[in-house]
Amino acid sequence: MNEEKTLEIQAKEAIDSIPKPVPKSKMQEFKETLRFVFLILIIIIPVRLYIAQPFVVSGASMDTSFADGQYLIVDELTYEVIHEPVRGDVIIFKYPLDPKRFFIKRVIGLPGETVLIEKSSIKIVNQNNPNGFILSEPYLTLGFSTSEKIEKTLGENEYYVMGDNRNNSSDSRMWGPLPRRNIIGRAIARLLPISKATIFPGQHTATTSTSTNIINK
């Protein structure tokens, strides 16, 4: 019995010997909160300004790859430090005729290339393909047809962009080439709706085709 009491006393003494945490003053708590907020800000603000920013799709010009109201994250860094836009990329940019507005389209023609559009066929002429090649665009599900023949040679800092919903899209066919300086970045993620959440949404590489018409699936 005495042995049990001795063990209880020793256990209590061991617990009592554990240093008690010193209560933080309100000033200390305030400083820690301020430090936490500061760390969050120095991480989030550069990301928001220079790396990625949110974008909400408005309109039907990119159906069925993107729908009205979908929430995207735009990668602003890749085109600045890694590589320039490539054919097939889905990009967000400032509308050349009104830079306060933002558009989302797909890259069709690259700097220095000549883009020829006739009915539902897009032909690209460049240094590697002086005779041109027809684009195969598997992302087109609605089909399209242009009433008049279009031919445009791009400058060294110009891109030809078009919506995936070609019959309901204001793009380079109407207002001309897109200046490189207007490009903000590429769509890197779709967050909403959850059922459509994905990385690199709508991403396809436009390829050559031996057919005289674009393949529409």
Give the lowest-confidence range in 41-45, 75-79, 84-88.
41-45
Tell me the three-class secondary structure of 63-98, residue by residue.
CCCCCCCCEEEEECCHHHHCCCCCCCCEEEEECCCC
CB atoms within 10 A of CB 87: 19
Identity of residue 9: I
pLDDT at 125 over 70: yes
- 160: tokens are 């030809």
pTM: 0.71
pLDDT at 115 over 90: yes
Whether omega before 64 lies within 30 degrees of 0, making that bond cis, reads yes
Which candidate, 202, 216, 203, places its Cα nearest to that of 122? 216
Distance in angstroms (rounded) separating the CA atoms of residues 128 and 109: 14
Res 36: pLDDT: 54
Q: Which own/partner pairs from 150-153 qualify as long-range (CB within 8 Å, at least 24 positions apart)?
A: 150/115, 150/116, 150/117, 150/118, 151/114, 151/115, 151/116, 151/117, 152/109, 152/114, 152/115, 152/176, 152/177, 153/113, 153/114, 153/115
159 close to 178: Cβ distance less than 8 angstroms: yes
Mean pLDDT of 25-53: 59
What architecture does CATH give domain 49-209? Ribbon (2.10)
pLDDT confidence band for 211 (50 / 70 / 90): very low
Listed ranges 11-15, 20-24, 46-50, 103-107; the one with the highest mean pLDDT: 103-107
Beta pairing class for 133-136 and 146-153: unpaired
Which candidate, 103, 112, 96, 127, places its Cα nearest to that of 157? 112
pLDDT at 42 over 90: no
Q: What is the average pLDDT value for the chain, to the nearest integer?
A: 79
pLDDT in tens, 183-205: 999 988 888 888 888 888 887 75
Dihedral sign (CA 155, 205, 99, 122): positive
